[in-house]
């Protein structure tokens, strides 16, 4: 009975100290000082960087960078629970992620994909999208005003 209590205590303690490891699945993202895209960037994280997840709040992870030890917030969309390991030639060297997944993460919505998507959709006007894509905010304040005026939730 004593041995069983020790095993149970060990299992409970080890589960409390367990932290989920996540990998950055986008080309670049930032650790931010608060759980918001308007939060101040603290540290730039690159594709395949690993972080230790400590908390999840409304789609934002409070994480610690394994590389620098810096703590901050990263949006869930930038993270994967798959381990992504790059070798010296920057090619995926793990079976957790396929080569096509890596290519798609780096490509995004390029001209070729956009061209294929718009085929046969002559009734849709993409000029507003094209105008929006050409806009670049000059400051975080301008971006914040844009979000507020557009009643966007951040």
Mapped onto helix, strand or coil, the DSSP state of residue 9 is helix
Beta pairing, strands 71-75 & 50-57: unpaired
pLDDT for 71-106, tens place per residue?
Answer: 999 998 889 888 887 765 555 444 455 545 554 554
Q: What is the homologous superfamily of the domain 19-108 according to CATH?
A: SH3 Domains (2.30.30.40)
Mean pLDDT score across all residues of the chain: 75
Residue ranges per structural domain of the chain: 19-108, 109-154
- CA distances to 17, 20, 33, 61, 106 from 84, rounded to whole Å, are 23, 14, 25, 18, 14
Give tens-digit pLDDT for 43-67: 999 988 999 998 899 889 999 999 9
Question: pLDDT tens across 100-121, in order?
Answer: 555 455 445 566 666 666 677 6
Cβ contacts of 14 within 8 Å, gap of 6 or more: none
Q: Which of 61, 74, 78, 75 is nearest to 27 (CA)?
A: 78
């Amino acid at each position: 009975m004593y041995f069983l209590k020790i095993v149970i205590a060990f299992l409970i303690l080890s589960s409390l100290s367990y932290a989920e490891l996540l990998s950055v699945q986008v080309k670049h993202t930032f650790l931010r000082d608060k759980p918001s895209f308007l939060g101040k960037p603290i540290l730039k994280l690159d594709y395949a960087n690993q972080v230790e997840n400590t908390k999840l709040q409304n789609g934002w992870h409070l994480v610690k960078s394994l590389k620098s030890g810096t703590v901050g917030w990263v949006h869930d969309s930038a993270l994967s629970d798959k381990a992504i390991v790059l070798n010296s030639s920057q090619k995926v060297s793990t079976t957790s992620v396929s080569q096509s997944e890596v290519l798609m993460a780096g490509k995004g919505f390029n001209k070729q994909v956009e061209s294929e998507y718009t085929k046969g959709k002559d009734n849709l006007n993409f000029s507003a999208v094209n105008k929006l894509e050409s806009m670049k905010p000059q400051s975080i304040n301008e971006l914040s005003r844009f979000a507020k005026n557009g009643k966007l939730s951040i």
